[in-house]
């Protein structure tokens, strides 16, 4: 993958300050992917995860080697379909929780599979 300039000075999201011009090189693979052989990408669809900034059309980086623990955002396969939700423990069982208050959490069906952990979300800010 190509390398891109990375300015050492962070950009402030408040009052603007001039950049001091120092830069390094950043290879996006190194930043986005921890376990290359276990990582894949897919597009998000729908509005169930907007509360954590995942929007319809976003590109999700999913790592199958990351530990599956409560609180992580995961890709689950349920009845041969994939869904992106937060994994939680509730009443001693695994549940999936949408990050949209209009959607209720639901128990993870017994025959489902956690396919991977979402590690990054790439959101197109130019998308109208």
- Integer Cα distance of 62 and 4 in angstroms: 22
Structure tokens at 86: 């937060």
Q: Which of 17, 48, 97, 127 is catalytic?
A: 48
User: Which neighbouring-strand residues pair with 113?
Assistant: 77
Active site (annotated) includes residue 127: no
Burial category of 20 from C-beta neighbours within 10 Å (exposed 0-12, middle 13-18, buried 19 and up): exposed
Q: Which of 17, 85, 97, 102 is catalytic?
A: 85
Active site (annotated) includes residue 85: yes
Catalytic site residues? 48, 85
């Amino acid at each position: 993958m190509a390398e891109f300039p990375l300015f050492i000075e962070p950009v402030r999201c408040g009052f603007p300050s001039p950049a001091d011009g120092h830069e390094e090189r950043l290879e996006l693979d190194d930043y986005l992917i921890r376990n290359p052989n276990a990582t894949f990408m897919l597009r998000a669809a729908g509005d169930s995860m907007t509360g954590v900034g995942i929007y319809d059309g976003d590109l999700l980086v999913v790592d199958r080697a990351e530990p599956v623990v409560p609180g992580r955002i995961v890709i689950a396969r349920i009845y041969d379909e994939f869904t992106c939700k937060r994994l939680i423990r509730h009443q001693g069982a695994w549940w999936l929780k949408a990050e949209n208050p209009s959607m209720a959490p639901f128990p993870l069906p017994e025959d489902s599979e956690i396919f991977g952990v979402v590690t990054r979300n790439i959101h197109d800010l130019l998308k109208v």
